[in-house]
């Protein structure tokens, strides 16, 4: 899945965007973490969330008449089915039917599944409209399949040509090698009566947790599938085996904390880390940002709590990259790397100036990371942000409730102005050949960020 910005204005440089929340866990000797999580101790609550998810995601009024509800049973069917079954569903082929109309193998199965699951809600009219929508989806898919076929054919032809012929051919069709622009599906443009309905698999992945809903649009799979289940949380849960650090003392300010001489938290930063503009921009990347916390007297509107304010921009997710390894959602809380790896930061930060001083104890920066965030089952939208070798976000460590750098919060800030519908990315910062499998062999992963300077490998 990729996360894109989905609003009509730019996300400004260095605006605090998101906290990579998940579960902070101790890194075990194997590098894998297993943790008892706080949320799973409240099964009723999770049950409620799931119920709510079904209601929110799948209800749809079709022109105010027949009401089609998809998802609950279908999703259950999908989540219960084996990988083989899933891949069969994903591999629905586009064909020409006798009438020349594109159809998808398995369309009848799909409709009969829905009819079976919702017998009272699938009247003839609804079925007709569903078929019409499927036809539109298929036509669009067929078009791209044809385009792809033509592209491959051209490439094949060109492989059989000499250099002179090749250049003549390229001159004649200069657009041939252009990468087709990915279609944008702005949230406001999602037409419930059109085929986009089938691509919108979730109206809000945060299930009302965030101020703005985060829709998920699946442009890859047919039928579109919802993202694998996880629980959306807004603040980091610390697993039972991790000792929660003592709360840091707070400032005594009654209003917004902007001055180092009057606010003890701002003082720890040397000067105010944020400018009060567009919700608080980071003045410059720092080793660590000290924000106001729970023991401070200032309120939630304090200017030194930027990373605690939640998402302030509309985001959406689209299905692009498949994950097939178990630890795709681990993030080491490695402030040492973000603080010390100037080379990496130079690469990551684009034109944002580098930090000038280290306000963190050297001893802590020399040790290996002890904790990691496991966003596999619990997390927020940041868990879906992909890696890029030319990213538009960078990692900034932030401390607020406590001052233990080993459990710092990981916050992603914009490194440049980010336009609407741009994918949000950051540099995962892996060292090549640093990921070792259970058998002791190095695991490699190719990078598909597509940037001209792509390093070709994630790790």
| Footprint of ligand SAM (CB under 6 A) | 1, 321, 323, 325, 328-329, 383-384, 386-388, 447-449, 458
Per this entry, what is the length of the chain? Answer: 459
- Here the tokens at position 367 are 């040790």
User: Cβ closer to ligand SAM: 146 or 451?
Assistant: 451
| Least distance to ligand SAM, CB of residue 396, Å | 18
User: Cβ closer to ligand SAM: 221 or 291?
Assistant: 221
Q: How far is CA 51 from the centre of its chain?
A: 23
| Least distance to ligand SAM, CB of residue 305, Å | 26
Contact 359, 286 (CB under 8 A): yes
| Least distance to ligand SAM, CB of residue 405, Å | 23
User: Cβ closer to ligand SAM: 407 or 458?
Assistant: 458
User: Cβ closer to ligand SAM: 376 or 401?
Assistant: 376
Instruction: Find the residue with minimal CB distance to ligand SAM.
Output: 1
User: Cβ closer to ligand SAM: 27 or 260?
Assistant: 27
Contact 126, 111 (CB under 8 A): no
SS (H, E, C) the chain: CEEEECCCCCECCCEEEEECCCEEEECCCCCCCCCCCCHHHCHHHHHHHHHHHHHHHHEEECCCCCEEECCHHHHHHHHHCCHHHHHHHHCCCEEECCCCCEEECCHHHHHHHHHHHCCCCCCHHHHHHHHHHHHHHHHHHHHHHHHHHHHHHHHHHHHCCCHHHHHHHHHHCHHHHCCCCCCCCCHHHCCCCCCHHHHEEECCCCCCCCCCCCCEECCCCCCCCCCCCCEECCCCEECCCCCCCCCCCCCCCCCCCCCCCCCHHHHHHCCCCEECCCCCEECCCCCCEECCCCCCCCCCCCCCCHHHCCCCCCEEEECCCCCCCCCCCEEECCHHHHHHCHHHHHHHHCCCCCCCCCCCCHHHHHCCCCEEEECCCEECHHHHCEECCCCCEEEEEEECCCCCHHHCEEEEEECCCECCCCEEEECCCCCCCCCECCCCCECCCECCCCCCCCCCECC
User: Cβ closer to ligand SAM: 228 or 342?
Assistant: 228
User: Cβ closer to ligand SAM: 191 or 323?
Assistant: 323
Helix 72-80 with 107-117: angle, nearest 10 deg: 120
User: Cβ closer to ligand SAM: 72 or 218?
Assistant: 218
| Least distance to ligand SAM, CB of residue 438, Å | 16
| Least distance to ligand SAM, CB of residue 3, Å | 8
User: Cβ closer to ligand SAM: 345 or 387?
Assistant: 387
| Least distance to ligand SAM, CB of residue 440, Å | 20
- Here the tokens at position 297 are 């007297």
| Least distance to ligand SAM, CB of residue 255, Å | 38
User: Cβ closer to ligand SAM: 198 or 426?
Assistant: 426
| Least distance to ligand SAM, CB of residue 447, Å | 4
| Least distance to ligand SAM, CB of residue 328, Å | 4
**Cα–Cα dist 228/80, whole Å:** 11
User: Cβ closer to ligand SAM: 162 or 437?
Assistant: 437
**Cα–Cα dist 399/390, whole Å:** 27
| Least distance to ligand SAM, CB of residue 379, Å | 9
| Least distance to ligand SAM, CB of residue 375, Å | 7
């Amino acid at each position: 899945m990729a996360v894109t910005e989905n609003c009509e204005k730019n996300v400004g440089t260095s605006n605090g965007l998101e906290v990579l929340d998940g579960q902070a866990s101790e890194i075990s000797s194997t590098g894998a973490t297993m943790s008892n999580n706080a949320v799973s101790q409240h099964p009723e609550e999770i049950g409620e969330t799931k119920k709510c998810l079904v209601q929110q995601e799948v209800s749809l009024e079709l022109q105010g008449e027949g009401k089609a509800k998809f998802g609950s049973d279908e999703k259950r069917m999908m989540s219960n089915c084996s990988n083989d079954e899933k891949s069969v569903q994903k591999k629905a082929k586009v064909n020409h039917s006798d009438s020349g109309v594109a159809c998808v193998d398995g369309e009848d199965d799909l409709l009969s599944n829905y009819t079976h699951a919702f017998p009272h809600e699938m009247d003839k009219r609804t079925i007709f409209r569903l078929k019409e929508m499927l036809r539109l989806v298929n036509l669009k898919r067929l078009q791209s399949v044809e385009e792809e076929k033509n592209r491959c054919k051209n490439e094949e032809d060109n492989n059989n040509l000499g250099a002179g012929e090749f250049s003549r051919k390229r001159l004649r069709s200069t657009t041939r090698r252009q990468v087709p622009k990915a279609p944008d599906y702005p949230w406001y443009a999602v037409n419930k009566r059109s085929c986009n309905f089938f691509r919108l698999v979730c109206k809000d992945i945060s299930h009302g947790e965030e101020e703005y809903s985060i829709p998920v649009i699946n442009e890859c799979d047919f039928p579109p599938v919802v993202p694998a289940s996880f629980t959306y949380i807004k603040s980091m849960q610390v697993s039972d085996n991790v000792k929660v650090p003592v709360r840091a003392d707070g400032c005594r300010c009654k209003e917004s904390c902007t001055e180092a001489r009057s606010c003890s938290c701002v003082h720890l930063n040397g000067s105010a880390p944020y400018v009060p503009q567009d919700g608080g921009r980071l003045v410059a990347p720092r080793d660590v940002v000290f924000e106001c916390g729970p023991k401070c007297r200032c309120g939630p509107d304090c200017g030194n709590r930027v990373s605690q304010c939640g998402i302030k921009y509309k985001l959406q997710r689209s299905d692009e990259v498949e994950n097939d390894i178990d630890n795709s959602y681990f993030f080491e809380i490695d402030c040492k790397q973000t603080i010390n790896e100037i080379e990496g930061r130079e690469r990551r930060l684009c034109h944002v100036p580098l930090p000038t001083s280290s306000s963190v104890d050297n001893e802590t920066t020399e040790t290996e990371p002890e904790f990691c965030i496991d966003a596999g089952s619990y997390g927020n939208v940041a868990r879906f942000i992909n890696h890029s070798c030319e990213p538009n976000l960078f990692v900034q460590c932030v401390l607020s409730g406590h001052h233990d750098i080993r459990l710092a919060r990981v916050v992603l800030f914009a490194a440049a102005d980010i336009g609407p519908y741009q994918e949000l990315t950051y540099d995962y910062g892996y060292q090549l050949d640093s990921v070792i499998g259970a058998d002791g062999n190095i695991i490699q992963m190719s990078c598909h960020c597509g940037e001209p300077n792509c390093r070709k490998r994630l790790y």
